[in-house]
Amino acid sequence: MRQEALRVMGTRPKPYVMAHRGNSAHCPENTLAAFRRAIDDGTDAIETDLHVSADGEFMCIHDGTVERTTNGRGAVKSMSCEQLQSLSASYGRAEFASERIPMLHELLAILPKNTALALELKCDDFLEEAVCLRLWRLLQETQTDDRTVVLSFSRERLRAVRRYTPQIPVGLITLFDWLPGEIGELAGPWWPFTFLNPLYVWMAHRRGQLTCPLDPTPEPRLWYYRLLGYDTVLTNDPALTLRALGRPGKK
C-alpha cells in the first residue's frame, strides 16, 4: 500500500487495524456478513482472499476447495460463479445459512470510502496478464484502486502483478524470511520473526515499506508491535483489537 493510499485513514493513530477475512471471529470468514461486521466495528482495512472461478469471476474464498467453509464439494477453479454462489458459506453455523461466497465486486460495493482493502492472491490465474488487467479495471471502475494493496506468499504472482499492472501496490507475506523481502510496498512477516529480529520494522521502513505482522490474534503482543512501530495489525476480531488499542471503534 503506497503511502498516498493511507490518506483514507485520515488522522487515525497507528497501528491501523486490518480485518482478517472480515470479522472472522464472530462470522463465517470471507462472507458479506463478516465484512459488514468488520465495517460496523470500525476497522481501518479489510483483508480477503481471491480465487478465480471457472468462468473468470473473482471470488472471496481462502481455500482452493469449498469443503471447509461451505456445504459443497469441489475445486473453486472447476466451478462457475453460479455454482459457487449456490452453496451456503455458513461454515456450518445455522444462523448464517443464507451467506454465500461473495464475488469481489460485492465486497467493493459495500466498502466505505475511508476503508482500505488488501487482496491476497490465492491462485496462479494471477500470473496471467488478462487476469491482472481485469482486476485493475474492476478496482478502477469501483473507485477503490487508490486504497487497495495486493498480497501474496508467492513472489511469482506479485511479480506478475508488478509486470502487468504496476499501478497496484503489492506486499509479500512470508512464513520463512526474517528479513524484509525485496519486493513490494508492504512487508508481512510471520509474527515470531518480529522477536527474532527486533530491527525488522526499522529495516522495512528504511526500504520504504509499510509493515503488518502475520498475526490474526495480536492482542497479547500489541504492546510490542506498537513499540517497534508497525504500521498495521491483522486481526480476526477488529472490535476487540480496537478496544485493546484504546480506540473507540466505529469511525
What pLDDT is stored for residue 1 in this prediction?
46
Supply the pLDDT for residue 24: 98
Q: Which residues pair with 48 in a beta bridge?
A: 119
Strands, DSSP E only, in 39-137? 45-52, 58-60, 116-121
Q: What are the tens digits of pLDDT across the range 114-130?
A: 999 999 999 999 999 99
* Averaged confidence pLDDT in the chain: 94
CATH 3.40.920.10 fits 3-244, yes or no: no
Cell of 11: 488522522
Rounded distance between C-alpha atoms, residue 58 and residue 67, angstroms: 18
User: What percent of the chain stands above pLDDT 70?
Assistant: 94
Concatenating the DSSP letter of every residue in 162-205 gives HHH-TTS-EEEEESS-SS--SSBSEEEEBTHHHHH-TTHHHHHH
Least confident of 18-22, 60-64, 179-183: 179-183
Rounded to 10 degrees, what is the CA torsion of 195, 197, 200, 201? Answer: 40
pLDDT class for 173, splitting at 50, 70, 90?
A: very high
62 is known as an active-site residue: yes
20 flagged as catalytic: yes
The residue from 26, 51, 62, 205 that is catalytic is 62
Sequence spans of domains, the chain: 3-244
83-117 pLDDT tens trace = 999 999 999 899 999 999 999 999 999 999 999 99
Catalytic residue among 20, 51, 105, 205: 20
